[in-house]
Each structure stands twice: as structure tokens, then as C-alpha cells.
Structure 1
Amino acid sequence: MKIYVDADACPVKDIIISEGTNAEIPVILVTSFSHFSNAEQPSGVETIYVDSGADAADYRIMKLAEKGDIIVTQDYGLASLGLAKGCEVLHHNGYSYTNENIDQLLQSRYLSAMARKSGKRTKGPKPFTSEDREKFMKLLKKTTQNSHL
């Protein structure tokens, strides 16, 4: 099992690295070259750089991920692909994507895009809170423990 992170805008990389290291699960951060860093990562953490093009990180994650891996993303399209491949897919706000909720999430994304296209303004995501961080940490711990069984 590995943890793949759609890392460009992920606000919980520190939690993922810490939990992955503690659980001895390899963590792969997939990010665009525009976020290049020379920062040293702990053992068991790898950074893969991809082009800055739309969906480049998503394509790389889907190429590498296998059934039973964990994917952390806020991208509903990537979440849908990950679920279809048999991965556990988590959002940094502390919820799991499931076969039961993904269709509704994709539908709401589509409707918001259509509204914006027709000139309407839509709300953006709510600000990320410390409660969201806590929920994510608990969910990731639970997911890594369940996956090790």
C-alpha cells in the first residue's frame, strides 16, 4: 500500500507525511514543476514532479496507483477514477469519497461550471479550518489502520 497525494494545493501534506512515516507506508507527493523544492523529505517520502498542465498530476497518480492504495485529493474527477480502480480516496476536509457520494459531487461540480459559464457567480470552497485538519488526521489514521488489517 502507498499514499498518493495530489500535492499542488494540499494543505495537509505535513499530516500525511507524519502518518505515512509512523505507519511505514510510502508517501508519494505528485506536484507540478512550478512547485519545485529542494527541501529534504523524510525516508519513505518521494516527490514526483509533472508538467504544469491541467490534470498532469491526476494522470500520473492514476498511472501509478493500484487497488488498495490511498489517494488524497480535492479533485472530484481524480477521486472518481481512484474509486473505480479500487483505491481509498480521501478529501483533505476529512471525508472519504465513496461510490455512494461521488456522482452527487460530480453533478454539483458540473452544475457550478455551467452556472459560471452562463455568467453567474458561484461560491468557492469554505476556508480550511483547524477542525478540518483534525477530521482529516482522524480519517487518515483510521484508513491506514484499516488498510493494514
Structure 2
Amino acid sequence: MPAAQNVAEDAQNAIEIYIDADACPVKTEIYRVAERHKLKVFVVANSYIATPREDWIKRILVDATPDAADDWIAGRAARGAIVITSDIPLASRCVKANADVIAPTGKAFTQASVGEALATRNLLDALRSQGEITGGPKPFSSRDRSAFLSALDLAIVRLRRSGFS
């Protein structure tokens, strides 16, 4: 096999992490895990976010339109990608593209779970628009951080076992 073809196949089978970064509380943890596993990370936001100056971390600044970051990430989501987001509509789009999707709390979105999560989100959104007080998310905890790290490691191991590097 020619060397150029090996390089192209390696790039095609590379695990990449996409962070919906505007409100992500686990960016530092992602950087540590990605460095340990030698993975490329894309930090996607519509405003400047400080990132470590590493060649494997790419900061992507998108337009300030409402779904620009989501569209950028969803356009690249595929098998071998790990998407970190708490945005359920984005999670749904990425799961449909066969990406591994993990919330910062460690909840993995799957084909089996994302439909229910999206329906619940839409119901709560409809209730809020009618003036109902539905409360917000629980405060982020150290247990959430630990669950996230476990879920991220599990996703990486699962992808490596299926041929991604």
C-alpha cells in the first residue's frame, strides 16, 4: 500500500473530539484526556474562548448566528467523532450521523435515548413559553465531572476497538 494512502486512511480513521464550547464545563478535562490519547480537539464557539496553545487543539470561531456552532459540528459529525454537548437538538443530529455524543454530565446520547431526551426538552420548552416555571438544570457537580471522564474514556476505548486511532 502506498505511503500516501496509509496517511489518508489514518486521517480517515482518526478519532476527533468536537466541543460545543460556549457553556462546556469540562474543557480542561477533555484537553487532558485528548493529550493522553493523542487526539485532535475542535473547540467550537461563536465568541473567543481561550484554549491551550497546542497543535492538536483547533479553536473554531463561527458566526454569532444562533445555530452556527451546532451546524459546524453537525456537518462534521460521523462515526469516529466524539461530540461533547448539552444541546439536545445538536446531540440528536450528531447521533443520527453515528457520532458518539456525551453531555458534560457524562450522559451518553444514543439512538435509543436521544428521541426521549428531545421530546422532554421540547415539552419543557413549550411549557416555559406558556409561562410555566420548570426549573433549570442541577448545578454541575464533581460526580458529573467523574461520570463525564468515565464516559469519554469508554467512548475512546470503544472506538479504538472498532478500528479508529
With normalisation by structure 2, the TM-score equals: 0.84
The SS at the match of 2:112 is coil
Q: Is the 8 A contact 2:77 2:98 kept in 1?
A: no
Q: State which structure, 1 or 2, has the greater radius of gyration over its C-alpha atoms.
A: 2
Aligned match of 1:106: 118
Per-residue CA deviation, residues 57-109 of structure 1 (Å, 9 max, x unaligned), is 00011122332211000011111110111100000001100111111111111
Aligned match of 2:43: 29
Q: Is the 8 A contact 2:16 2:39 kept in 1?
A: yes
Matching of residues 1-149 of structure 1 within 5 Å? 1-33=15-47, 36-37=48-49, 40-149=52-161
Which sections of structure 1, spanning at least 5 residues, go unmatched? none
CA apart distance, 1:123: 1.1
Hey, which bits of structure 1, 4+ residues long, moved more than 3 A? 37-40
Per-residue CA deviation, residues 5-59 of structure 1 (Å, 9 max, x unaligned), is 00000000001111111101101000112xx146542231111001122111000
Q: Is the 8 A contact 2:51 2:57 kept in 1?
A: no
Which sections of structure 2, spanning at least 5 residues, go unmatched? 1-14
The SS at the match of 2:137 is coil
CA 1:117 to 1:10, structure 2 compared with 1: closer, same or farther past 3 Å? same
Paired residue type of 1:13: K
Aligned match of 2:11: none
CA distance in 1, matches of 2:59, 2:66: 18
CA 1:13 to 1:38, structure 2 compared with 1: closer, same or farther past 3 Å? closer
CA distance in 2, matches of 1:71, 1:65: 7
Paired residue type of 1:42: E
The SS at the match of 1:148 is helix
Aligned residues: 147
CA distance in 1, matches of 2:151, 2:79: 19
